[in-house]
Amino acid sequence: MSRRQFVGLAGSLATVLGLGLVGCGGGAGKGSAAGSAAAKDVKGAAESKKLVVGFDKSYPPYGFVGDDGEYTGFDLDLAKAVADKQGWEVKYEAIDWDAKDTLLNSGAINCIWNGFTMEGREDDYTFSEPYMLNEQVLVVKKDAGIKGWDDLAGKTVITQTDSAAQDVLEGDQKDLAATFATLDTIGEYNTAFMQLESGAVDAVACDLSIAQYQLAAKPDAYTQLDEPLSSEHYAVGFKKGDTKSADAVAESLKALYEDGTVKDLCDKYSSYGLSFDNWVLK
């Protein structure tokens, strides 16, 4: 979504941390999948020549509020570059994540672009080709003595409500979760990491991007376990059936990779833990 430069890394990270992290890579959309009869006539980006990006403004480095009060982030910059390639206007709409499906179906936005996990959502949206590798991972305190999954037996793990991490721990990795003392959920990740830092919980299960951001902000406080819970991908989500817009965005993303724009943007946000190595659309 966009799914958020700063002067000085330490001050920047502290500013963004105060906004709170919301797990945009969360579980499959559970809002309205059909849309109203009126919404069926809403024009997509390719037809309207206007890209209206629905994003979570508290999800660095993909989308957040900068020190100047303006929206910024990797996905927002990427969306602007795509719009320029296509000759489209671009507009950013910070949204309530729980309302994303209603807003998309009503035409208030015409895409969801902000670290948006596609796996498990394929029946609800038409996606661009995936552009970024993501994983669900576990983060623990560096001095906790937790080196691997076995060390989490009898421990308290927390994740965001309705997130991809929750889906994985209640699905493919349910046997692992059964070894935990508890698997707790919370509304947003910033509070989850505050609880980890205070010792109220032993581990946070989250998107790789969130883990990378937190580790970049507090490298002496946290460590990420080597084995991921799952691997997945970020893509741009459009209203079901809007293949013309999805294809146009994928075409432009490939061109932006070829001309070096993607590398430049990855470098721009590398201090937040974003890695060019995770780019997959070439």
Domain that holds residue 264: 9-131+235-275
Please tell me whether residues 26 and 99 are part of one structural domain: yes
Residue 247: enclosing H or E segment and its boundaries?
Answer: helix 243-258
By the 8 A CB rule, do 222 and 140 touch?
Answer: yes
Please tell me whether residues 120 and 249 are part of one structural domain: yes
Q: Which of 209, 189, 219 is nearest to 273 (CA)?
A: 209
Please tell me whether residues 205 and 126 are part of one structural domain: no
Residue 173 neighbours by CB under 8 Å, 6+ apart: 229, 230
Please tell me whether residues 109 and 98 are part of one structural domain: yes
DSSP conformation class of 98 = G
Mind listing the pLDDT tens digit of every residue in the chain (282 residues)?
A: 333 333 333 344 344 444 444 445 544 433 333 333 344 457 899 999 999 999 988 888 899 999 999 999 999 999 999 999 999 999 999 998 889 999 999 999 999 998 898 988 999 999 999 999 999 999 999 999 999 999 999 999 999 887 889 989 999 999 999 999 999 999 888 899 999 999 999 999 998 888 988 998 899 999 999 999 999 999 999 999 999 999 999 999 999 999 999 999 999 999 888 899 999 999
- 267: in domain: yes
Q: Which of 1, 254, 281, 243 is nearest to 125 (CA)?
A: 243
Please tell me whether residues 13 and 108 are part of one structural domain: yes
> What's the longest Cα–Cα distance across the chain?
57
Please tell me whether residues 183 and 44 are part of one structural domain: no
- 109: in domain: yes
Please tell me whether residues 16 and 123 are part of one structural domain: yes
- 1: in domain: no
Our count of domains for the chain comes to: 2
CATH number at residue 97: 3.40.190.10
Residue 259 neighbours by CB under 8 Å, 6+ apart: none
Please tell me whether residues 242 and 110 are part of one structural domain: yes
Please tell me whether residues 163 and 189 are part of one structural domain: yes
**How far is 214 from 60, CA to CA, in rounded Å?**
10
